[in-house]
Structure 1
Amino acid sequence: MKIVIADDHAVVRSGFTMILNLQEDMEVVGTAADGIEAHRQVAKYEPDILLLDLSMPPGESGLIAVGKISEDFPNTKIIILTMYDDEEYLFHALKNGAHGYVLKNSPDDELLKAIRTVYNGETYINPKMATSLVREFVKNDQNVVENDPYKVLSKRELEILPLVAKGYGNKEIAEMLFISVKTVEAHKAKIMEKLHLKSRPELVEFALKKRLLHF
């Protein structure tokens, strides 16, 4: 495995280089002191793995570099190597293309395991941080359920929502569904309340996103 290490501390780069080069299946081909230099090194060596620190003052930080490098060099897998056990950093890194997240105070064996895991196409997250990721996933999953019209709205409301989004008036909808205008108005109010919408443009946007319109 060809590896590039990006960290603003020379002693850290040297230390990790020594550890990795002792492995039969790993070779450090380049090092960098900030995100811009890391981008150049990845372009030059096309490594399999980039170990990227998040904080590299005064140069470009890893928080910025991870997105650029993952987009420009999709074949290079990025492992964040940092002292920050902050879930916001973890989520940002993963959303922007990182494949791994390892804390600098982890044992050497964990770093080696992370590199081999990511090289083989999987994602590696520091065990201490994994709980935060699961918690966020569950929260997002609950939000998805709350915004799922098929779970939140009644059958009648699912009939009315796309008609409102298409621009039909209350009277027209009432005639189509053989119900009163007051009933249409009541259902519209319920729809807006359940979906936390405040205006018709928001309702149209919601209907488009959820593919409730069939023009």
Structure 2
Amino acid sequence: MVIKTIEDVLFPGIDVRLERVAFTADARIPRPSGGVESSAELIQARGLPRHSEGMTTHTAHINTTATERPVPRWAARAAHAMPLVALPVCLWRLPIAFGYGMGGEVLPPSPWNIPYVVGLSVTSEAFALLSFGLVRQWGEVAPTWVPKLGGRRIPPFAVTIPATISGLFFTALMVHWAFGAFRLGGADGFPYAEGWDVLAMTVSGLFTLWGPLLLALTFAYHRRRCSR
């Protein structure tokens, strides 16, 4: 059995020396049948990757989104939906920080109104974006830039426990929203003027979808990482 080197595979029939040489687009390589050909011609003939004006190399690109096991398509779509369902209520509450009641009561004047409301919206979106960790590699292996933990495998329970608690919390908010929106059990409706109450009910209702979506993503994450 003859074991071929990479030189034998790339350059069959050519006596390739063991010296390391710079393989550039201007290099001249002897033909087996006589004469020479440029490395550019060889690259085109062999179908090798070509980089202009420099050494021809093949760079391996690491897919940072790759997970240990394939992510179901529905889970990837749910992760993309998380920031979208949170966005309407985050935008809706911003005018409240500047003294607009949006059909409800105006906040008492305070220098903390703007930092609080804007910070709440930004934080909500930031946590929604964290849901991508349930369908990305950085939710399984800590990114290299994280001090002391970079490159280490993340235990599944370190993700599933807080994600499950958050999902249950927002699912409970959905139940509370349903009682208020549909006035179930004699519950009061939304405390907003006519028309504005529909807007408030819609954006807050979308936000409560966060709970079921997060629970579904957490289940898929647990199943993908813990099942044998």
Asked if these proteins are the same fold (TM beyond 0.5), I'd say no
| TM-score using structure 1 length | 0.27
Q: Determine which structure has the larger strand proportion and give its number.
A: 1
Structure with bigger RCO (C-alpha 8 Å, 6+ apart):
2
